Structure 1
Amino acid sequence: MSSAAVVVPPAREAGGRSLAPDLARGVMLLLIALANTPWYLYGSPTGIASVHPTDGTLLDRAVQAVVIIAVDSRVYPMFAFLFGYGIVQSHRSQLAAGADERAVRRVLRRRHLWMLLFGALHAALLWEGDILGAYGLAGLVLVAAFLRRRDETLAVWALVLTSILVVGMLFAVSSAVFLVAAEVPMPPGQSFLASVTAINGIESWPDSVLPRLTFWPLLVLGQGLLGLVVPVAVLTAFWAARRRVLEEPGRHRRLLTRVAVVGLAVAWSEGVVHALQHLGVLGVPDTVAWVFPVTQAVTGLFGGLGYVAVFGLVADRLSSRTSGPGPVSGALTAVGKRSLSCYLAQSVVCAPLLAAWGLGLGAHLGSAATALLAVGVWLLSVAGAVALERAGRRGPAETVLRRLSRGRR
């Protein structure tokens, strides 16, 4: 077989931009909307291990199960991977354009500092669950410590941190099993998650600002660094981006297939158990229900990477078509190119509709209606992104962040 016969073309859009990352970001925004909107349902009782209501119609309960299995804690590792992958792409493209290493580092540092500020404003004005700050902090630390490290170093650190997560999860599970088996008396569990959702039940917007800003730094530090999931996802993305795994998925089809199968199998299997616990089928005592957020966070790392791999495979299939990507994938990639703007737009729409200081629909909607609202908000962002794509314009948030990070040059 000649060498030309094994050449696999990169999966790219018509304009030369890699298809897989934008495609994944476009769908990720839908998953983010489905994951975030339940936090606004301040009017319903929740359990220890989830913000989803513990009541509702049969349809509501089915929606809760699907979101727990496929969405909750699976989205932010996916976001973290794509964020880390984009860092390497930006670093590479700026160097190729003639910038020196120190200048590129300054641009990245300014970008991540501005992400922290954007996140603080986002939390103060609208949404305490902002993730921009967490990724801004992770970017500051991980770029400084790892961007120029060897591939072997990245792999070792990612494996070590993943091992710590898995061992910690197994210890938590074994502790919970022991407590139940030994019938150790424990005080009733207190739902920290319910106290967070209660922020959206504050009827005065000025009074809601301080509680949101009080919770936000804990999320930034815990999710951005201490939880280890985001650092593992970002380091894995650094390693993958150097190999152009998403730019050239055809060359890495076996790796992507394995990651997709194993990652989603691990995440969805745990999600089924968690969903059964939430629905009251397993009968797990509330005193040990705290173990499920732990298992969901760790398995969510595998799920997030699995989703990224799936979209890499989808991009490979789309790029092999003679007609190129169709209108649906074109719309999704338009959203992916403007993921920051579309992410912020979700809060601009959802917070005034659902929070008590706005229309207060969060006290009345069930899980199914809230999921339908999330899909509708995402579709609005798709329409806006497609309009901007046709006009040849970036998203407004991307334009501002780029200007602040790089200047007017």
Structure 2
Amino acid sequence: MTASFSGSDSPVSASTRSVESYQASRFGRWLLAFGLGHAALLLATDVLAAYGVISLVIGAFLLRRSDRALITWSAIGAALLTLLLISGIAFASAPADPAAMGPTPATASGAGDENYLIAGISRITTWLVLTCLTTFGLTAPVAMLLGIWAARRRILEEPHRHLPLLRRTAIIGITICWLGSLPAALVQIGAVPEVNEAALWALQWPTGLAGGLGYVALFGLLANRISRRAKPSRAITAISAVGKRSLSCYLTHSLIMAPVLAAWGLGLGAHLTNATTACFAIGLWLITVAAAYWLDRRGRRGPAEHLLRRLVYRN
């Protein structure tokens, strides 16, 4: 839908703009509602609500602006993220303060509570904080603005026309992302002593944006190569089916993982190691791939996508 908003560079009729702006607003509000339900019932780290809020803000102020406006605001956000990255590097060597570490992820997310209702209070509280951080943390808004710009130029729809840009973005973005994640990975495996947690966040948020852009560019390059084949393999078709049903797959992961791993459910999360957790996650992902492929073969949307589309376009 964002590709149809062409801004002042390619104006559309006022009536079309009005309809599309109204639909974008409905999409943001319903995505926010989906996120609230998701967090209240299952997962404190829901991202749907933040995407809904950001969509509402961008839809109201920037969606119909020119490409130059999108790039300008993206550059401002990237500059602020660069300052955050510099501060993260400066404070990374500061000793960790155990008293300032705050609650553990299990406590904050409610996964460690055996009472489902009490866990729900923790989930909502954490969700509100994380939604604000994601909304105002600049990474997601900048990514969305650049996504609108890329959609207008059909960079991913026609990757063969933008191969140099995609190659540079993939190499630079993924390299920056890996370098930004390296300190946290070294801490996780015990290769280096504990460092300031806030510094790790300051390192990963800006470099995560670069990584997101890099991986999107990499997928665009892969899509360009795959498109040359006469017929894509079943594996490619299955993974593409997951992308078309990403909302349903995302919610399915929570629907299975939360009751199985949380203390208010089966509580298996307290007994899994890093290796067994990875095996569990991969197995669950493969199940969703198989389900998405099954739906794709029958020409059906994912249930969440079907519901969201009906709510947004019901009129």
The residue aligned with 2:39 is 123
Q: Mean alpha-carbon deviation: is it higher for 374-383 or for 186-195?
A: 186-195
The residue aligned with 1:367 is 274
**2:22 equivalent to 1:106:** yes
The residue aligned with 2:183 is 273
Q: Secondary structure at the match of 2:101?
A: coil
The residue aligned with 2:3 is 89
**2:206 equivalent to 1:282:** no
> Compared with structure 1, are the counterparts of its residues 377 and 100 closer, same or farther at alpha carbon in structure 2 (3 Å cutoff)?
same
Q: Mean alpha-carbon deviation: is it higher for 379-388 or for 187-196?
A: 187-196
The residue aligned with 1:49 is none
In 2: Cα distance, 1:188 partner to 1:352 partner: 31
> Compared with structure 1, are the counterparts of its residues 106 and 194 closer, same or farther at alpha carbon in structure 2 (3 Å cutoff)?
same
Does structure 1 conserve the Cα–Cα contact (< 8 Å) formed by 2:109 and 2:126? no
Let me know the Cα RMSD of the aligned residues.
Answer: 2.1
The residue aligned with 1:169 is 85
State the shift of 1:375 in Å.
1.0
> Compared with structure 1, are the counterparts of its residues 186 and 320 closer, same or farther at alpha carbon in structure 2 (3 Å cutoff)?
closer
**2:227 equivalent to 1:319:** yes
**2:171 equivalent to 1:261:** yes
State the shift of 1:136 in Å.
0.4
Q: Secondary structure at the match of 1:100?
A: helix
Residues 164-313 of structure 1: matches in 2 within 5 Å?
A: 164-177=80-93, 179=94, 188-194=99-105, 196=107, 199-224=110-135, 226-284=136-194, 286=195, 288-313=196-221
> Compared with structure 1, are the counterparts of its residues 193 and 361 closer, same or farther at alpha carbon in structure 2 (3 Å cutoff)?
same
What letter is aligned with 1:208?
Answer: A
Q: Give the count of matched residue pairs.
A: 310
State the shift of 1:390 in Å.
1.5
> Compared with structure 1, are the counterparts of its residues 145 and 193 closer, same or farther at alpha carbon in structure 2 (3 Å cutoff)?
farther
State the shift of 1:272 in Å.
2.2
**2:291 equivalent to 1:384:** yes
> Compared with structure 1, are the counterparts of its residues 293 and 193 closer, same or farther at alpha carbon in structure 2 (3 Å cutoff)?
farther
State the shift of 1:188 in Å.
4.0
In 2: Cα distance, 1:160 partner to 1:118 partner: 30
What letter is aligned with 1:217?
Answer: L
The residue aligned with 1:339 is 246
State the shift of 1:173 in Å.
2.2
After superposition, what is the alpha-carbon deviation per residue over 1:217-244, rounded to whole angstroms, capped at 9, x for unaligned?
11112102x1000011011111111110
Q: Mean alpha-carbon deviation: is it higher for 264-273 or for 122-131?
A: 264-273
State the shift of 1:338 in Å.
0.8
Q: Secondary structure at the match of 1:104?
A: helix
In 2: Cα distance, 1:306 partner to 1:320 partner: 22
What letter is aligned with 1:221?
Answer: C
Give structure 2 stretches of 5+ with no counterpart. none
What letter is aligned with 1:291?
Answer: A
What letter is aligned with 1:109?
Answer: S
The residue aligned with 2:305 is 398
What letter is aligned with 1:190?
Answer: M
After superposition, what is the alpha-carbon deviation per residue over 1:2-51, rounded to whole angstroms, capped at 9, x for unaligned?
xxxxxxxxxxxxxxxxxxxxxxxxxxxxxxxxxxxxxxxxxxxxxxxxxx
The residue aligned with 1:155 is 71
After superposition, what is the alpha-carbon deviation per residue over 1:349-408, rounded to whole angstroms, capped at 9, x for unaligned?
11111011111001101111111111111111111111111111111111111111010x
> Compared with structure 1, are the counterparts of its residues 186 and 377 closer, same or farther at alpha carbon in structure 2 (3 Å cutoff)?
closer
Q: Secondary structure at the match of 1:246?
A: coil
% same residue: 42
The residue aligned with 1:136 is 52
Residues 42-53 of structure 1: matches in 2 within 5 Å?
A: none
Q: Secondary structure at the match of 2:162?
A: helix
Does structure 1 conserve the Cα–Cα contact (< 8 Å) formed by 2:5 and 2:63? no
What letter is aligned with 1:223?
Answer: T
> Compared with structure 1, are the counterparts of its residues 196 and 241 closer, same or farther at alpha carbon in structure 2 (3 Å cutoff)?
farther
In 2: Cα distance, 1:193 partner to 1:264 partner: 29
TM-score (norm 2): 0.92
In 1: Cα distance, 2:20 partner to 2:224 partner: 30
